Amino acid sequence: MMMVNSRAPQSETAALRERLKELTCLYDIAKVASQPNASLDAILEGIVKVLPAAWQYPEAAARLVLDGNTYANGHFPASCQKQSADIIVNHKPCGVIEIGYAEPPSDSGIDLFLPEEQRLLNEVAHQTALIIECKQAEEDRLILCDQLRHADRLATIGMLSAGVAHELNEPLGNILGFAQLAKKCGGLPEAAKQDIEKIEKASLDARQIIQKLLIFAGQVPAEKKPVNLNEVVEDGLYFFNARCAKEGIELVCDCCQTFPVILGDPVQLNQVLVNLVVNALQAMGGPGRITVQTQVLEHHVRLVVQDTGPGMPQEVLDRIFVPFFTTKDIGQGTGLGLPVVHGIVTAHGGTIYVESTVGRGTHFAIHLPIHNASAQRTRRP
Ligand SMILES: Nc1ncnc2c1ncn2[C@@H]1O[C@H](COP(=O)(O)OP(=O)(O)OP(=O)(O)O)[C@@H](O)[C@H]1O
Ligand SMILES: [Mg+2]
């Protein structure tokens, strides 16, 4: 009787002590996660640091593996007895948390791990998954805000460009028209004729710039019809073969087997391809590889133009769609190639994705909505 009485309070005390450790652990994790501006890495490192204290023996080591990255408090033994719990983020397993002992502690009995500890580990894995989901949602929100700001900025520049282009179009038309009329006057001295021709050429150049600004601003209607993107690519690249061969550039054309049909303006789509390939060629300025690919995705057709050129730093990437932004010398580029690409792709209901790494190259991917009627036709035998 004496023994029963003395053991009961002792195990209750031990249970209470374990419960207190669990609560402290969960509280510490909440504290780590709620630190303002803490990165996900810092939070995960904090979690593995506070975990071992909640286990029975101080020799416990904790390790968290997430998407191939490992976070551990000190050295986590390669082979050991351990408890583990999966981290399920958005219904997908993407990592694991483990607690292990390199050697079973000398005073440990058969119960090296307690069932309560497994429950705690499951709860920590669940809380970790919630923290990761929150961080990812926050990152997505920031990216979306950034994209919205960028789109908003381009829309404002587009409105301004459209206004300037419309205002200049009329006087420019007059300059060109009167220059052409003046050229036809008989008896003009040769020098005057040459001057008029210069006015005519300069007006035509200016009109091209205005035309590009109008395309960027979405003010040039596309003449849409079902277009097979493979044909646009094959026809467009034909003219680059000789130039690439001369410059030691390998031009790889990787067109998909299925018909990538979209509703589009073939002339404008050719312009997109040409502008991207010319940029790649100009950026490389020497041997390398340009790959042009077409792919059919579920709802989109994808056009990829990828080069092994010098790539772009972030400050260039941030401005490539802004009209007149160029890093090229005067006379080499007007900075309207990519704004034109942007205008055409937007007018076709598409999206542009750019990835660039300095020293490794640039990858442009353009998604255009698939033309459903044609897609259905191509699926029939
Ligand atoms: N593939 C690429 N690799 C590296 N930089 C690029 C690439 N494509 C574009 N750029 C950068 O983006 C800038 C803007 O390109 P964009 O085509 O709009 O104008 P541009 O080529 O300078 O002039 P334009 O096309 O009017 O002749 C370029 O000056 C260059 O710095
Ligand atoms: Mg260009």
- DSSP alpha helix (H) spans, the chain: 2-33, 40-50, 115-184, 190-216, 229-238, 241-247, 266-284, 314-317, 337-347, 372-379
Does position 73 have pLDDT exceeding 50, yes or no? yes
Domain containing 103 — which CATH number? 3.30.450.40
Same domain, 251 and 367: yes
Average pLDDT, the chain: 90
* Residues 156, 59 contacting (CB under 8 angstroms): no
Widest Cα–Cα separation across the chain: 133
* pLDDT grade for 374, boundaries at 50, 70 and 90: low
Q: Range of 153's domain?
A: 148-216
Q: Tell whether ligand 1 has an atom less than 6 A from the beta carbon of residue 312.
A: yes
| 206: its two tokens | 């200016």
Same domain, 204 and 252: no
Domain containing 352 — which CATH number? 3.30.565.10
pLDDT digits (tens, 9 = 90+) for 265-295: 999 999 999 999 999 999 998 899 999 999 9
- Which amino acid residue places its CA nearest to atom 12 of ligand 1? 320
- Best mutation site among 249, 279, 320 for ligand 1 pocket (most ligand atoms within 8 Å of CB): 279
Report the nearest atom of ligand 1 relative to the CA of 325.
14
Same domain, 137 and 42: yes
* Residues 262, 288 contacting (CB under 8 angstroms): no
- What pLDDT, on a 0 to 100 scale, did the predictor assign at position 200? 96
- Which amino acid residue places its CA nearest to atom 1 of ligand 1? 280
The angle formed by the CA atoms of residues 28, 33 and 38, to the nearest 5 degrees, is 130
- What pLDDT, on a 0 to 100 scale, did the predictor assign at position 380? 42
As for how many domains the chain has, the answer is: 3
Same domain, 114 and 169: no
- What pLDDT, on a 0 to 100 scale, did the predictor assign at position 108? 67
Residue 95 CB contacts under 8 Å (≥ 6 apart), including other chains = 64, 65, 66, 67, 86, 87, 89, 128
Q: Tell me how far apart the alpha carbons of residues 272 and 232 are, in angstroms, rounded to a whole number.
A: 10
Does position 376 have pLDDT exceeding 70, yes or no? no
Same domain, 26 and 109: yes
Residue 259 CA, ligand 2 centroid: distance in Å: 28
Same domain, 275 and 371: yes
Same domain, 237 and 364: yes
Does position 343 have pLDDT exceeding 50, yes or no? yes
| 317: its two tokens | 């990437």
pLDDT digits (tens, 9 = 90+) for 203-241: 999 999 999 999 999 999 989 999 999 999 999 999 999
Output the CA torsion 185→190→196→199 (10° steps): 170
Does position 103 have pLDDT exceeding 90, yes or no? no
Residue 256 CA, ligand 2 centroid: distance in Å: 26
**SS3 of residue 9 by DSSP:** helix
* Residues 311, 304 contacting (CB under 8 angstroms): no
* Residues 214, 162 contacting (CB under 8 angstroms): yes
Who has greater pLDDT, 371 or 274? 274
Residue 162 CB contacts under 8 Å (≥ 6 apart), including other chains = 213, 214, 217, 219
| 355: its two tokens | 């990835």
Residue 335 CA, ligand 2 centroid: distance in Å: 6
Does position 1 have pLDDT exceeding 60, yes or no? no
Q: Tell me how far apart the alpha carbons of residues 136 and 40 are, in angstroms, rounded to a whole number.
A: 9
**How would DSSP label each residue in 347-361?**
HTT-EEEEEEETTTE
Same domain, 183 and 124: no
Q: Tell whether ligand 1 has an atom less than 6 A from the beta carbon of residue 22.
A: no
Residue 277 CA, ligand 2 centroid: distance in Å: 9
Does position 68 have pLDDT exceeding 70, yes or no? yes
Select from 169, 166, 88, 76 the least CA-distant residue to 123: 88
- Best mutation site among 205, 326, 353 for ligand 1 pocket (most ligand atoms within 8 Å of CB): 326
Residue 267 CB contacts under 8 Å (≥ 6 apart), including other chains = 223
* pLDDT grade for 112, boundaries at 50, 70 and 90: confident
What is residue 296's DSSP assignment? E
Select from 133, 123, 98 the least CA-distant residue to 113: 98
Question: Which of 114, 141, 168 finishes a domain?
Answer: 141
Question: Which of 106, 124, 141 finishes a domain?
Answer: 141
Beta strand 351-357 with 300-307 is unpaired
Question: Which of 216, 243, 263 finishes a domain?
Answer: 216
Select from 273, 267, 265 the least CA-distant residue to 294: 273
pLDDT digits (tens, 9 = 90+) for 157-173: 999 999 999 999 999 99
Q: Tell me how far apart the alpha carbons of residues 221 and 367 are, in angstroms, rounded to a whole number.
A: 20
- What pLDDT, on a 0 to 100 scale, did the predictor assign at position 304? 98
Q: Tell whether ligand 1 has an atom less than 6 A from the beta carbon of residue 208.
A: no
Q: Tell me how far apart the alpha carbons of residues 252 and 286 are, in angstroms, rounded to a whole number.
A: 16
Does position 136 have pLDDT exceeding 70, yes or no? yes
Q: Tell me how far apart the alpha carbons of residues 15 and 180 are, in angstroms, rounded to a whole number.
A: 99
Same domain, 195 and 308: no
Does position 320 have pLDDT exceeding 90, yes or no? yes
Residue 275 CA, ligand 2 centroid: distance in Å: 6
pLDDT digits (tens, 9 = 90+) for 85-99: 999 999 999 999 999
- Give the number of the ligand closest to the Cα of residue 208: 1
Q: Tell whether ligand 1 has an atom less than 6 A from the beta carbon of residue 333.
A: yes
Does position 8 have pLDDT exceeding 80, yes or no? no
pLDDT digits (tens, 9 = 90+) for 325-338: 999 998 889 999 99
Same domain, 122 and 29: yes
| 92: its two tokens | 């997908």
Residue 163 CA, ligand 1 centroid: distance in Å: 24
Same domain, 137 and 152: no
Residue 128 CA, ligand 1 centroid: distance in Å: 43
